[in-house]
Amino acid sequence: MLLPESPLPAAASSPGGQARAADDCDLRQLRQLPPLDLPPRPLRWLFLDLNSYFASVEQQLQPSLRGRPVIVAPVGADTTVAIAASVEAKRFGIRTGTPVWEAKQKCRDVIVTPARHDRYVEFHEAIVAEVWRHVPVTRVCSIDEMACRLLDNENSRDAAVALAQRIKAGIVARVGERLTSSVGIAPNRLLAKLASDLQKPDGLVVFEAADLPDALYPLRLREIAGIGAKMEARLARDGVNDIRQLLGRRPRDAGHAWGGRDGDRLWFLLHGVDLPDKPTQSRTIGHSHVLSPSMRGPEPARLTARRLVLKAASRLRRKGYRARLLVLHGRFEDDKSTWRASIRLPATQDSFVILDRLDALFPRLREAGRARTGGFRLRMIGTTLAEIEPAAGEQASLWAHLDPEDPLARESRGVHLSRALDRINERWGRNAVSVGPLHGGRLDRVGTKIAFGRIPELSEFHE
């Protein structure tokens, strides 16, 4: 693998996209048009989706795995599930979420390899840098997906297809021969994403305005991003059982079936209109961990919760936020529902304040566990910092001359010490210095993992 000397930003706005902001259609203006009078819909988006990404990285790193059925799992136990499956494993019906024991039944030769999330982030950054060699990356959508808005001299069918082929070939040549990808090209990002899903592995599908909406009719409603089981049932109650029925309605009527404000938004998107994204805001920061069978008692769960909340607090400081609420949640072995409790925080990013509140909250989980028939057997533990907001300006110097035991002085010291711990662990590695004991028997490794929609920074692998 060839890694870039200085990785480019993982997500940045395309200069062309900024220059063409006025070209984005306004939903309010569209509602004033006759139903069939749509604006021009040139090819504007290229969506790249890496094929079987985690498994492909492992096959790149381990040549002995190439051409063989491989699944990536969080731990080497049959009770866990596959978080990725190679193209070869998928031919046996093995998918993400398939239990390891079931995968072994489907394919006796399947190879289970442990996940290495830090390597996946390294490859991700190399792939983003390679795409930037050809076209600006407008948005990184996940660890294995990114979207690029096309410039005016790139949005003819021939030019867009040639660009996609150069990107695909560049990734294989400069990052890794096992890193194949599927590309979708369309007038908007939703349709480009949908096109990228239609031909795997190593596919290239184009939706032009002239193809729409007829090209979508063979697809199932559930194949459209944003339509899950509940929404599919809701649409069925309104008489919509397929895409043809949804798009055959007037925009406002289709929006009524969809429900909510801007319910007709999907109608316009599926017809190829390029609508601006709705603004989003991060509201929580948290981590969870599935405990190994031997570590599901109260004390291992408590120590794991402490380590999880320290990771969340470190992310909170790195993003420049503070939190007002701490949530502790878990799932017991004999219960599919999630136990949850919360406690208020002073607006803070201080690890010591947050740990103090966690210590006050944990007895409630301990009591709930002891009351269960099988005793305290916790399968999953998680902590979340909620009601987050941008941190106020640094005011530590205002409290420099206060009594050391004054609450404001203690908070100032705690934040500075928390930041110092961040810097030490970033420089010398995870747990170079810790808050509280890490001894007392083996603990589950609480490492950084890649979640859907969030790519960890490499510094998180030192927390």
Q: Mean of the pLDDT values across residues 218-235?
A: 88
Residue-wise pLDDT for 373-397, tens only, equals 878 999 999 999 998 888 865 444 4
Structure tokens, 361: 């909250």
> pLDDT value at position 422?
61
Residue listed under structure tokens 């994403």: 193
**Distance (Å, rounded) from C-alpha 80 to C-alpha 397?**
50
Whether 4 shows a pLDDT value over 80: the answer reads no
Percent over 70 (pLDDT), the chain = 74
pLDDT over 70 (residue 460):
no
Q: 157 with 43: CB under 8 angstroms?
A: yes
Cα–Cα distance for residue pair 321/349, rounded to 1 Å: 7
Q: Per-residue pLDDT for 299 more than 80?
A: yes
- In which band, very low, low, confident or very high, does the pLDDT at 36 lie, cut at 50, 70 and 90? low
Q: Is the model's pLDDT at 96 over the cut of 70?
A: yes
Active site residue 145: yes
The pLDDT of residue 171 is above 70: yes
pLDDT exceeds cutoff 50 at 2: no
The pLDDT of 450-456, averaged and rounded, is 54
Is 313 within 8 Å of 354 (Cβ atoms)? Answer: yes
96 SS3 class? coil
Residue 69 pLDDT greater than 50, yes or no: yes
Angstrom distance (rounded) from CA 355 to CA 9? 33
Compute the Cα dihedral for 413, 419, 424, 425 and give only its sign.
positive
- pTM value? 0.66
**Cβ(149)–Cβ(45) under 8 Å?**
yes
pLDDT at 461: 47
175 neighbors 127 (Cβ within 8 angstroms): yes
| Strand runs labelled E in 51-123 | 70-73, 84-85, 111-114
Mean pLDDT over 25-45 rounds to 70
Q: Which two tokens stand for residue 74?
A: 């969080």
pLDDT at 126 (0 to 100): 95
Distances (CA, A) of 347 to 165, 209, 285, 387: 50, 50, 14, 9
Nearest one of 118, 57, 12, 2 to 459, comparing CA atoms? 118
Number of H helices, E strands in the chain: 15, 13
Is residue 120 within 8 A of residue 176, CB to CB? The reply is: no
**Ramachandran quadrant class, 361 (left: phi over 0; alpha: psi -120 to 50; beta: rest):** alpha
* Tens-place pLDDT, residues 303-325: 999 999 988 998 888 888 889 99
- Looking at residue 99, what DSSP letter applies? B
Q: What pLDDT score does 414 carry?
A: 59
User: Which residues of the chain form CATH 3.30.1490.100?
Assistant: 284-462
CB 51 within 8 A of CB 199: no
Check: CB of residue 339 under 8 Å from CB of residue 409.
no
Q: Which long-range contacts (CB under 8 A, 24 or more apart) does 99-105 make?
A: 100/71, 100/73, 103/71, 104/78
Torsion angle, CA of 19/140/463/339, rounded to 10 degrees?
120
Average pLDDT in the 347-367 region?
92
% of the chain residues with pLDDT over 90: 48
E strands present in 277-397: 284-290, 321-332, 339-348, 378-386, 389-390
What's the pLDDT score for residue 26? 63
More confident residue, 441 or 233: 233
Catalytic one among 122, 145, 232, 457? Answer: 145
Q: How far is CA 158 from the centre of its chain?
A: 32
Please report which confidence band the pLDDT of residue 103 belongs to, taking 50, 70 and 90 as the band edges. Answer: very high
**Locus of tokens 């096309």:** 150
DSSP 404: T
Report how far apart, in Å, the C-alpha atoms of 174 and of each of 117, 296, 304 are: 21, 44, 40
Let me know: does 268 contact 29? Beta carbons within 8 Å: no
Q: Where in the chain is the domain with CATH 3.30.70.270?
A: 1-211
- Using the predicted structure, report yes or no on whether residue 399 has a pLDDT greater than 50: no
Task: Give residue-wise pLDDT tens across range 190-211.
Answer: 999 999 999 999 999 999 999 9
First to last CA, the chain: 26
Give Cα 437 distance to the centre of its chain.
31
| Token pair in block for residue 298 | 């109260």
CATH of domain 1-211: 3.30.70.270
Position 371 confidence tier, pLDDT thresholds 50, 70, 90: confident
Residue-level pLDDT at 210: 93
Phi then psi for 368, rounded to 5 degrees? -65, -35
- Residue 217 pLDDT greater than 60, yes or no: yes
What distances in angstroms separate CA 270 from CA 28, 30, 220, 303, one per listed residue? 17, 14, 13, 49
- DSSP letter assigned to residue 24: S
Copy the structure tokens of residue 2: 């060839």
From the options 3.30.1490.100, 3.40.30.10, 3.90.1150.10, 2.60.40.1180, give the CATH code of 284-462: 3.30.1490.100
> How high is the pLDDT of residue 235?
87
Please return the burial class of 40, using the count of CB atoms within 10 Å of its CB with bins 0-12, 13-18 and 19+: exposed
Output the average pLDDT for the chain. 81
Res. 442 pLDDT band, cuts 50 70 90 = very low
Digit-coded pLDDT (tens) for 230-278: 888 888 988 889 999 888 887 777 667 666 656 688 888 999 999 887 7
Which whole-number Å values give the CA distances from 296 to 17, 336, 408, in the listed order? Answer: 50, 16, 38
Q: According to the model, what pLDDT value does residue 394 have? A: 47
103-117, 189-203, 361-375 — which is least confidently predicted? 361-375
**Least confident range of 27-36, 154-163, 173-182:** 27-36
